[in-house]
Structures are given as structure tokens and as C-alpha cells.
Amino acid sequence: MKFNKTHIVILVLMITLNGFSQEILTKKEALEITLENNFGIKIAKNNLEVAKNNSSIYNTGFLPTAILNSGADYRRNNQKIVFTDPQTGNDSERVGNGVVTKSYNASVAVNYTIFDGLGRKYNYKQLKEQYNLSELQAKETIENTYLQLFTVYFQIARLSENTTNLKEALAISKRRLERAKYQYEYGQSTKLEYLNAQVDVNNDSITLISAKQQLSNAKRGLNVILGQKKETTYEVETNVDFENILNLDDLQQKTLQNNSLLNQNKKNLAISEFNLKVNQSDFFPTLGFNASYAFNRTENENLVNPFGARLITSDGLNAGLNLTWNIFDGGNRKTRIANAKISIENQQLQLEQQKITIENNLKNTWENYKNQLFILKAQETNVLTTQNNFDRSEERFKLGQISSVEFRQAQINLINAKTALNNAKFDAKLIELQLLQLSGDILNVNF
């Protein structure tokens, strides 16, 4: 059969499309997509931008204020003025209709607080600490999203491997059913053997369908974390690499220095301390400076009063200082300061409580991690043993040396061992990620 160029191109395209029918989503790619599209991370970044704006010098009162005012006024009135002659006592009047008066004004005023008891200084530092707190909150959000992402990612990997194992088990059961069918048809076994094989195939099929459904649900959950608006089906990596975590002492030291929750409590304590100083600054006077330049012009037309001015203009610079000292405000400042001190004490207590809680969680998680690594090694040995047992049982079953019930039990043991190994592997990795989150190192992991 001869192939022309068109046939070759079509063949290449078919191979290419088949190769890309199921996209492999690596851990690194999943992380990059999540950091770019995850809604929680986007909200955290926006909140951080708000905190950045609030901590700007434009929001502290350190800069002066400048106000520009200008206006124009037009009046057209009817006027009547009565004059009394002081010598004769006779009255005379002047009447003007449609008397027009035009006024123009413009001014620029500058106000600046020279001293306010250092309230602005401590308020500015408080805003900076609030920005630092927002950074830590954003970091915590990203850390939680990391853990959430890989919990679902490894769940998909776990279910994918379990599904593969169940497919292999179903294929074995189908071969056994076919063998039992032939043996029954040729009178080499009873119908009971054939019916048992049918039941096992049905049970394995139901288990596989359930596993596929769980896998589909997990993949849809992954799309939510990835921030994907369009449903996309991925295959994931099933290999697991463990970090070189040295010992508990190193973890404890890193946790006290880098844990996001602890650092947030430290920032809240600093914010409370600056809030106390801001309230204490109210005991001092406030000194302010103000300056303005103003221009005014008034034009009078058709004067009724002969002594009135037809044109009035004025302009000039004004400047001054003002001192304000709230000597007694009814005890409000004293109350605020007392409450601020209590708030500091509460923050200190919360920090100590958080330290104890996190250290306890760290120790528990560390023990779980070490135990899970031991279980992982034990399950690896179990899989080798059950695989060897199954292979021998399969050979003996083909030779008629064991019953179908014994063969089925060997098959179930192998499935359970492989499932337990998968669970141990991915459980150990997730516990490791929890350790890294507690110690503040989860963002430094190279996937």
C-alpha cells in the first residue's frame, strides 16, 4: 500500500491528537495557575493593596491642606432711599430701578498642623504595622490555598492510582469469569463457580464506577481551586517526593520565627501598643499654622446713594498660628487609655496561648508524620508480599490446585495492599505539607 504526503500528514495529526487527548497537569503548573486565578488569593491581594493605600503618607495628616475658593455674584434690585435734611427736617427720596451689583472673590488657604502631641507619628507607624499585618494575612491565605490545592491534587493522584488498580482487578475478574464459563460449558466445574465469578465481576465493576465518580468529583473541585471558569479534565502526576525535614528542634525554631498566625498576633500586639500612644498624645496641645491669600471685587452700577462706592477691590495675604489644648474632656481620654492598656494585655495573652497551641499541633503533626513514614515502608513490603502471593495463587488456580474462593481472597488482599500503600504515600505527603505550613516553609517547597 502506497502512502502519499496527505496520508502521512493525516497520520501525524491523528497521533498528535491522541497524544494530547488528556492533558497532564504538573504540580508546578497547577501552582502557577492557582496563584494567577484563585479567587481567594485575588481578594487577599486586593486587601493588601487597600492596606498599602491606607499606610501612605497621604493618609497620615503629615501633609498640609490647600483649599481654593472662588465665586461670582450678580444682583439686580430696585432701591429706594429717603434722605432727611438736618436743617429743614424735610425728606427727599431717591429711587433706582434695576440697580446692578457685581461681586467677584477668590482665595487660596493653606493649613498645616505643626504639632499634635506626636499623634500623627504613632498613627503613621500604626498604619505601617497594619500593612505588615495585611501582608501576613495574604501570606496565610496563600499558604492555606497551597495546602488546599495539593490536598485535592494528591487526592486525584490517589484516586487515579486506585482506579488503575481497580481496572486491573476487574480485568483479572473478567478473565476468571471467562475461564469459569468455559469450564462450566465443558463440564469441568459447577455452575456455582461460574455464578461466583459473575458476582465478583459485578462487584468489581461497581467499585470501579464508584472510584471513577469520586475521581470526577475531585477533578471538578480542583477546577474551583484553580479558578477555572470552564470545566477542564486533567491527569495529574502520581509521583511523590518527600522533603528533607531534619528534626523537631529545627521545626520548632522555624515555627516560632515564621509561623503566619504567630506573626499576625505579634503585629496585632504592636498595633495595640501604637494605639495606646496615639491616645496618650491627646493630652498634649495642638499647634497649627494657617495662611491665605484673598481677592475681592465689587462693582456697583446706577448708584442710588451718591455717597456709595462704585468700585471696591481688596486683596492681601493673611497668616496666623492657632493653639488648641483640650485640658479636660470629661474623662474620655482616660477611659480610652485604660481600654488600650487592657487591649495590649489581651494581645499578649493571645500570643502566649497561640504559641502553646501551635507548638502542641507541631508535636502532634511531627509524630503523625514519623508514624506515617513507617507505615509507608511497611505497606511497600506488604505490596511485595501480597503481589508474590497473588502471582503464586494465580498459577495454582490455573492448575486447579486452589479454589476460586482462595484465588479471590488473594486478589482482594492485593487490591487492599495497593490501596493501603497509595493512602499511606499521599497521607504522608499531606502531613508533611502541614508541617511545612506550621513552620512557615510551605511557600519554599519546589514542586
**Alpha carbon 233 to chain centroid distance?**
24
In the predicted structure, residue 430 carries a pLDDT above the cut 90: yes
The CA distance from 15 to 21, in Å, is 10
pLDDT band at residue 120 under the 50/70/90 scheme? very high
The CA distance from 161 to 426, in Å, is 11
**Alpha carbon 445 to chain centroid distance?**
18
In the predicted structure, residue 10 carries a pLDDT above the cut 80: no
User: 234 pairs with which residues across the strands?
Assistant: 23
Three-state secondary structure call for residue 192: helix
Three-state secondary structure call for residue 305: coil
| 440: exposed, middle or buried (Cβ count in 10 Å: 0-12, 13-18, 19+) | buried
Residue 201: closest CA among 183, 216, 193, 391: 193
What is the CB neighbour count within 10 angstroms for residue 37? 14
- Residue 303: the pLDDT is 67
In the predicted structure, residue 424 carries a pLDDT above the cut 50: yes
- Supply the DSSP symbol for 26: -
- Residue 308: the pLDDT is 65
**Alpha carbon 429 to chain centroid distance?**
23
Percent of the chain with pLDDT over 90: 73
- Residue 305: the pLDDT is 64
Average pLDDT over residues 151-180: 93
Taking the CA of residue 7 as centre, how many other CA atoms within 13 Å lie in the half-sphere pointing to its CB?
4
Average pLDDT over residues 136-162: 95
Percent of the chain with pLDDT over 70: 93
The CA distance from 71 to 4, in Å, is 87
Give the pLDDT confidence of 232-268 residue by residue, as tens digits.
788 999 999 998 886 899 999 999 999 999 999 999 9
Q: Indicate the angle between helix axes 119-185 and 39-54, nearest 10 degrees.
A: 180
- Supply the DSSP symbol for 373: H
Cell of 146: 497551597
pLDDT band at residue 3 under the 50/70/90 scheme? very low
Residue 402: closest CA among 393, 391, 413: 393
Three-state secondary structure call for residue 246: coil
Average pLDDT score over the chain: 89
Query: The pTM is what?
Result: 0.83
**R_g of the chain, CA atoms, integer Å:** 42
Beta strands in 201-352 (DSSP E): 234-236, 286-300, 311-324
Pick from 130-144, 300-314, 325-339: least confident = 300-314
- Residue 306: the pLDDT is 63
Q: Is-contact 264 140, C-beta < 8 A?
A: yes
In the predicted structure, residue 38 carries a pLDDT above the cut 70: yes
Residue 5 phi, psi dihedral angles, 5° rounding: -65, -35
In the predicted structure, residue 19 carries a pLDDT above the cut 60: no
Where exactly are the structural domains of the chain?
A: 23-63+116-284+329-444, 64-115+286-324
Q: Is-contact 27 153, C-beta < 8 A?
A: yes
pLDDT band at residue 307 under the 50/70/90 scheme? low
Pick from 296-300, 388-392, 424-428, 429-433: least confident = 296-300
pLDDT band at residue 310 under the 50/70/90 scheme? confident
What is the CB neighbour count within 10 angstroms for residue 407? 20
Q: How many residues does the chain have?
A: 447
Which run of H or E residues covers position 170?
A: helix 119-185
Residue predicted with more confidence, 91 or 321: 321
Fold category of 23-63+116-284+329-444 in CATH: Outer membrane efflux proteins (OEP) (1.20.1600)
